[in-house]
Amino acid sequence: MKRTFPILAAVTALLLVFGTYQALVVAPTERTMGDVQRIFYYHVPSAWTAFCLFFLNLVASVIYLIRRNTSADALAVSAAETGVVFCTVVLVTGPLWARPVWGIWWTWDMRLTSTLVLWLIYVSYLLLRRFSDSAQTPVLAAVLAIFGALDVPLVYFSIWFFRTQHPQPVMGGGGSLDPRMLRVFLLNLAVFTLYGALLCWGRYRIEVMRRQVEETRALEALLDDGQAGSSPARSSR
């Protein structure tokens, strides 16, 4: 188990380098947009990975609400945090693509706005986890996670339900992509999914360690209090 993580991390790093090389060098240049279209090879896989991690957060939160399983709670917070990182990438790369193509950095279009709302919901989730000391925090966070997850289908389907400036999806939406571009896109999609899973796993291990340290410290403090409470009684005898 201890060796699996570094090996997987090294393999993922190599695959990320290979995926980037394919996106920057091998994939053909898009005729109308030019090189800026290559942002798509990072933007869409990042969005997909964020959605997967938010879905994992939802599943773990529901398991926590049903069974009060602390491992599920640790997984939920790990998935939310890594999901926010990928969602941040989406919100940064999107405007960098939009500026040369649309002529504007941002528009309050349904797809863009719902993605920003999604990011804000999960940032609030993380802030709640970070700054609330209440014993009810994991339950409240799990409920918030369910509301957050409701925004994911809204983000995904917004381009079908509303009039939007955002491009139509590459797959399942009638869009056509050069087979060479599709191959590079699918490679990056797979590599980013693996990378997201690996980051989430690493974060989960850190969360488990943090809880172990906190529990041991709490136990230590309890034992110290017990000893301090019993020593005056002994001395008074």
Partner 1 sequence: MTSIRFMWTAYAAVWIIHGTYIAALLRRYRRLQREMNSLPKS
Q: Which residues bind partner 1 (CB under 8 A)?
A: 20, 24, 33-36, 38-39, 42-43, 46, 85, 88-89, 92-93, 96-97, 99-100, 199, 202-203, 205-206, 209-210, 212-213, 216-217, 220
Q: Could you tell me the smallest distance in angstroms from the CB atom of residue 143 to partner 1? A: 26
Q: Which residue number, 29 or 68, has a Cβ lying nearer to partner 1?
A: 29
Shortest distance (Å) from residue 193 CB to partner 1: 15
- For residue 161, the tally of other CB atoms under 10 A from its CB is 9
Distance CA 55, CA 197 (A): 12
**What minimum distance in Å lies between the beta carbon of 20 and partner 1?**
7
C-beta of 101 vs 154, nearer to partner 1: 101
Give burial (CB, 10 Å; 0-12/13-18/19+) of 119: buried
* Cβ-count burial 66-100 (b if 16+ within 10 Å, e if not): eeeeeebbbbbbbbbbbbbbbbebbbebbeebbee
Query: Nearer to partner 1 by C-beta: 150 or 220?
Result: 220
Q: At closest approach, how far in Å is the CB of 230 from partner 1?
A: 19
Residue 30, strand partner residues: 34
Measured in whole angstroms, the distance separating CA 205 from the mean position of its chain's CA atoms is: 16
| Residue whose CB is less far from partner 1, 150 or 223 | 223
